Amino acid sequence: MITFIRNFFIAFLLFITPAPASVLPLLSSSDGHSTHIKRSVVDTNGVEFEYWFDQLIDHNNPSAGTFKQRYFFSDEYWKGDGSPIILQTPGEVTGDGRWAFLKERFLQYKMMEALGAAGIVLEHRYWGKSSPVPDLSTENLQWLTIEQGVEDLKYFAENVQLPVNGTSTRPDQAPWINIGCSYSGLLTSYAQERHSDVFAAAYATSAPVQADGDFWEYWEPIEEGMPWNCSSDMAAAIASIDDTLINGTPEDVQALKTKFGYESLQDDDFATRLLFPFNTWQDLQASSFQEEGQALFFNFCDAIEAHEDGSINKSDEGVGMPLALENLATIHRAIADE
């Protein structure tokens, strides 16, 4: 069993380790206008530069000033003045590496190729290198809202000076197409609803436009798609954890958290940690195995189904309790400090 736990841990470290990037010092603007500050970024496969835009901190109060918002740009297929501009924000993640949306295999790239369009990936405010504030104090989070995110897209489209020789790139001169997936798709949907005069078209996938505070249905396809033995054992282990958290004594609860390496966490934070790696399921693609080998998710299931002698249970019934709970705790102890 130790071998499988070790293999899972190695896969986990590879999963969370960011790709290295090398940067040069920033070049500053002397005229105070929106400027494109370039950095050298390694391994961008043709998307060579980061660019920067002076975005409003507060769209309801422009006098609050601006901050530098990072974006990536590609004109590989752009046919010149009046041709489409396809805009995407990666949403609630850093923009690091998201230049890849502008290269092969991604929908935005295929749309650029088909439409003769330029492509932009705009980093979301507060993430990566696009923060309007020096720290994340409660007061400084006041501009982290969906409304501000939506208005960022509009203001960017109307005011950015793209790094091309053409002049007809504004929304009244060229069709801007706003695309996004998940939270990014939500921003796309709301932006299109409010600003259809700015964006000629929009494409949103899996956009959570209807808020649901208890969206338990999200997990059903995961349970149905998992190996049956793994889903059976995880259901039994989670039921046991729930019972302890709900009905156990304070000493029982603390002992359970300690077993998992999360003794310092509150109950809700402890439960949140147990979502991993189930929340990686949505990242699986038909090509995942061919490109990366067995996915982290299935390495996890192998670790859950490991017997003490290291053999892997193949039966539909699973290893059962209490071994399923013990294996789950062993996995989380290995990653508790990551």
Please indicate whether residue 306 or residue 40 has the higher confidence score (pLDDT): 306
**Is pLDDT at 315 greater than 80 in this prediction?**
yes
Packed helices 250-260 and 323-335: angle between N→C axes, nearest 10 degrees? 60
**Is pLDDT at 174 greater than 60 in this prediction?**
yes
The set of residues, in sequence order, having a beta carbon less than 8 Å from that of 185 and lying 6+ positions away, is 204, 205, 206, 207, 208
Mean pLDDT of 198-213: 92
- Rounded alpha-carbon distances, angstroms, from residue 204 to 44, 108, 191: 26, 12, 11
**Is pLDDT at 176 greater than 80 in this prediction?**
yes
What's the pLDDT score for residue 55? Answer: 98
CA 83 to chain centre: 29
What's the pLDDT score for residue 75? Answer: 92
Q: Using pLDDT thresholds of 50, 70 and 90, give the confidence band for residue 178.
A: very high
Q: H/E/C letters for each residue in the chain?
A: CHHHHHHHHHHHHHHHCCCCCCCCCCCCCCCCCCCCCCCECCCCCCCCEEEEEEEECCCCCHHHCEEEEEEEEECCCCCCCCCCEEEECCCCCCCCCHHHHHCCCCHHHHHHHHHCCEEEEECCCCCCCCCCCCCCCCHHHHHCCHHHHHHHHHHHHHHCCCCCCCCCCCCCCCCEEEEEECHHHHHHHHHHHHCCCCCCEEEEECCCCCCCCCCHHHHHHHHHHCCHHHHHHHHHHHHHHHHHHHHCCHHHHHHHHHHHCCCCCCHHHHHHHCCCCHHHHHHCCCCHHHHHCCCHHHHHHHHHCECCCCCECCCCCCCCCCHHHHHHHHHHHHHCCC
Task: Give the separation between CA 184 and CA 44, rounded to whole angstroms.
Answer: 22
**Is pLDDT at 25 greater than 80 in this prediction?**
no
pLDDT digits (tens, 9 = 90+) for 30-48: 333 333 333 333 344 555 5
Mean of pLDDT over the chain: 85
Compute φ and ψ for 52, nearest 5 degrees. Answer: -135, 145
Rounded to 5°, the CA angle 271-273-279 comes to 105
Q: How many CB atoms lie within 10 A of CB 157?
A: 22
What's the pLDDT score for residue 41? Answer: 39
Read off the pTM.
0.70
What's the pLDDT score for residue 196? Answer: 96
pLDDT digits (tens, 9 = 90+) for 88-146: 999 999 999 889 899 878 899 999 999 999 999 999 999 999 999 999 999 999 999 99
Compute φ and ψ for 68, nearest 5 degrees. Answer: -85, 120
Q: How many CB atoms lie within 10 A of CB 293?
A: 10
What's the pLDDT score for residue 316? Answer: 86
What's the pLDDT score for residue 128? Answer: 95
The set of residues, in sequence order, having a beta carbon less than 8 Å from that of 273 and lying 6+ positions away, is 260, 262, 265, 332, 336
